[in-house]
Amino acid sequence: MRPIPRVAVSTVLLAVAGGVLAGCGNAAAQQPAPSPSPVATDGGSPADQLAGLVAAAADRHYTAPYDWTPAGSSRRQVTVTLADDASWRLDVPGGGLGGGKDVSVAGTKAGVYQCGLGAGPSCVRVAGPGGHVPARFDPQVEKVFTDWIGRLGDRNAPLSVDTAPRPSGVTTGTCFSIEPTAASLSSPVPSGIYCLDSTGTVTGARLGIGRLALSGTPGRAPATVKLAGPVTGGQAVPTTSPSPSPSPSPSRSSSPSASPSRR
């Protein structure tokens, strides 16, 4: 039998090795992104547990649907987007005109915006970067994610923290009852129940402004949020319905007192 040249053997071995390495590289590239590391919540005081979950929430970026039931109103599904660059957006059905108009609120590096949804959506800049939606145009639910959860991690805040049962509709996470301390004149967050899971995902809340419950599996966050429409110089959508115009008062000439008297 004719011996195989050493050069040919080396070539074959290199080709096989290269194929194996290439296969490993492709397999690594196809693996999903690692899930957030869970935070242990089985030790320490309730305040310690909450502080750990709030720290995880600060680095949590995702998109998820939530059932939102504002106080005195019907349930609707809110879409929450917390992007990788710290921009955020919430689409709130019925968030304007007393439930008659769908709105979106968003915060980017350029400012804070409120957008009217529906046919021909448009957005209005209502605050500078890091600002807040003015009360007149504010559906408020976004504050759970952009403001209030972060403040719960401040151990110097005048708040009393205790664990609490999950509110109706909330199926996952650890819940905490938050109340201002007796000596506090004002609270940095509304009193109520806030719920987070071990990855820092908000799973629900029960507050004076309504009830919130995670209603789907969180998805991957975008690099940044996109506004729901072009920015215009118009007026943002008020949260309440406009007051009806008063009926014109009857003219004096048509009133009985103004009729000529009979002789």
Which of 198, 200, 202, 203 has the alpha carbon at shortest distance from 39? 198
Does 178 fall in a domain? yes
State the average pLDDT for the chain. 83
Burial environment of residue 248 by CB neighbours within 10 A (0 to 12, 13 to 18, 19 or more):
exposed
- The SS3 call for residue 194 is strand
For residues 98 and 239, give the distance between their C-alpha atoms in angstroms, rounded to a whole number. Answer: 6
- Total domains in the fold of the chain: 1
Return the beta strands (E) in the chain as ranges: 62-70, 76-82, 88-96, 101-108, 111-116, 122-127, 159-164, 174-180, 192-196, 202-207, 210-214
Does 248 fall in a domain? no
Label residue 248 by pLDDT band (50, 70, 90).
low
pLDDT in tens, 206-242: 999 999 999 999 999 999 999 999 999 889 999 997 7
Does 56 fall in a domain? yes
DSSP state of 231: B
CB distance 41 to 49 below 8 Å: yes
Which tokens in the block code for residue 182? 């007796």
pLDDT in tens, 47-100: 999 999 999 999 999 999 999 999 888 899 999 999 999 999 999 999 999 999
Which of 62, 112, 53 has the alpha carbon at shortest distance from 84? 62
Does 169 fall in a domain? yes
Does 31 fall in a domain? no
Label residue 247 by pLDDT band (50, 70, 90).
low
Does 16 fall in a domain? no
Which tokens in the block code for residue 38? 């869970």
Note down the domain range covering 163.
Answer: 46-214
Does 78 fall in a domain? yes
pLDDT in tens, 93-143: 999 999 999 999 999 999 999 999 998 999 999 999 999 999 999 999 999
CB distance 97 to 241 below 8 Å: yes
**What's the CA angle centered on 96, arms 95 and 101, to 5 degrees?**
95
CATH number of the domain encompassing residue 158: 2.50.20.10
Does 158 fall in a domain? yes
